[in-house]
Amino acid sequence: MTAGTTAGPTNWAGNVAFRAPEVRRPATLDELRRLVAGSPRVRALGSGHSFNDVADTPGELVSLDRMPYTLEIHTGADGAARARVGAGMTYARLAAELHARGLAVAAMASLPHISVAGSVATGTHGSGDANRSLSAAVSGLELVTADGELVSLERGDDDFPGAVVALGALGVVTTLTLDLVPAFELRQYVREDLPRDAPFDEVMAGGYSVSQFTDWSSTRVWLKRLTELPDGDWLGTRAADGPRHPVPGMPPDSCTGQLGVPGPWHERLPHFRADAPPSNAGDELQSEFAMPRERAAEALAALYAAGDRVRPALRISEVRTVAADDLWLSPFHGRDSVAVHFTWIKDWDAVLPALRLVEETLAPFDPRPHWGKLFTRWPEPSERFGALVRAYDPEGKFGNDFLRRVLGE
């Protein structure tokens, strides 16, 4: 069988044109293994939602969206439910099918349209004081390595913490096993005009998942709660009088249900509905940086001070909290974090100076970038991750310019 192809690939936003002339779409595991083994350069492409060249290659660009459907629910030795899922599955499809079985994942990103493997590989996250990244839910994975072999890793294996958020450097991930929780309901509220002096910890403790949306002048809060929010004052804010889009002035039709109406977890945790075009439908650029949670007040104050210079290139910023994990390249490795996201206008010449200003402003707070978004300052290379890459891919089959910057080589 010959893999299907698609010409002229770009990422979701259209700001990255991949050097590969086409996207290869193997339909079976054996076909994928032959393709990887026989190609001098290979990279896996998820849903294309990264805003940089993390997936780029001049060789074979591989999508798994035609691989056989995989969703297997099982109970581990510890009594916890887990799901083995195909790497190309989107969170939208996974969530709906888990919910039908009375199950859930504990966290989701803003968009449910993104693929499971791509989200995990880049350290993508949701929000919530007790919620870890999507990557931290992974308890096992299978990947095709450079020689076409299928390798399985589980939580507890020596290589596992380096192989989850691995940026595609070790091979093409084919399945992941995810920790599950019982399905639950949430209510989503939008509160307007958060006072600048509102206590950060109290704001972020206001729900199961909490996001602050700000232009560094005025701020709204998205509260996703397990219980009803009592009427009246909440930290000096007022209730929105109708549904809101995170970007002021945009129609809220694509957003998940608000106004405190209860709904299934997967129809409230993301900001955007699975059955509608996501966000600004690609008309944007994005950056994001994670800082230690205890530095949140200082970091946010510094950004507010720079707000007038950032705002001309900004659509909106989002402030979230993420619990620590133990994954080597995770932006949240070893520390509870505050993550500050920037949705920029789609004009790189205008965005670049604003982005550099943000990076300079946040430099005292030890920022770590989201691997799938735009940044110009690179973290110090991880020696142990570099050793892991050399062990799995000694010839650099999965390497690209992005990884050479990450590894300092």
CATH number where 153 lies: 3.30.465.10
The arithmetic mean of pLDDT across residues 279-286, rounded, is 77
Among 183, 215, 237, the domain boundary falls at 183
Instruction: Answer yes or no: is 377 within a domain.
Output: no
Q: Is 241 found in the same domain as 149?
A: no
Instruction: Answer yes or no: is 26 within a domain.
Output: no
Query: CB neighbours (10 Å) of residue 386?
Result: 17
Instruction: Answer yes or no: is 159 within a domain.
Output: yes
- Cα–Cα distance measured from residue 242 to residue 246, given in angstroms and rounded to the nearest whole number: 13
Locate 379 and state its tokens: 């973290």
Q: State residue 296's pLDDT score.
A: 98
Q: Is 249 found in the same domain as 160?
A: no
CA distance readout (Å), 10 to 263, 356, 384, 399: 35, 25, 32, 19
Q: Is 319 found in the same domain as 209?
A: yes
| CATH number of the CATH domain containing 194 | 3.30.70.2520
Give per-residue pLDDT as tens, 225-269: 999 999 989 999 999 999 999 999 999 999 999 999 999 999 999
> What's the number of domains the chain is made of?
2
pLDDT at 1 over 60: no
Q: Is 178 found in the same domain as 200?
A: no
Q: Is 161 found in the same domain as 127?
A: yes
Give per-residue pLDDT as tens, 129-165: 999 999 999 999 999 999 999 999 999 999 999 999 9
Over pLDDT 90: what percentage of the chain? 92
Q: State residue 174's pLDDT score.
A: 98
Q: Is 198 found in the same domain as 175?
A: no
Rounded to 5 degrees, φ, ψ at 381 are -60, 145
Instruction: Answer yes or no: is 398 within a domain.
Output: no
Q: For residue 85, give its domain range.
A: 71-183
Mind giving me the DSSP string for 17-66? Answer: B-SSSEEEE-SSHHHHHHHHHT-SSEEEE-SS--SSSTT--SSEEEE-TT
Q: Is 178 found in the same domain as 132?
A: yes
Q: State residue 229's pLDDT score.
A: 97
Among 157, 183, 209, the domain boundary falls at 183
Instruction: Answer yes or no: is 347 within a domain.
Output: yes
Q: Is 194 found in the same domain as 339?
A: yes
Q: CB of 188 within 8 A of CB of 223?
A: yes
Locate 388 and state its tokens: 């892991």
Band (2; pLDDT cuts 50, 70, 90)? very low
Q: Is 289 found in the same domain as 215?
A: yes
Instruction: Answer yes or no: is 99 within a domain.
Output: yes
Q: Is 258 found in the same domain as 276?
A: yes
Q: Is 259 found in the same domain as 155?
A: no
Instruction: Answer yes or no: is 111 within a domain.
Output: yes
Among 152, 183, 214, the domain boundary falls at 183
Instruction: Answer yes or no: is 97 within a domain.
Output: yes
SS3 347: coil
DSSP H or E stretch at residue 140: strand 138-144
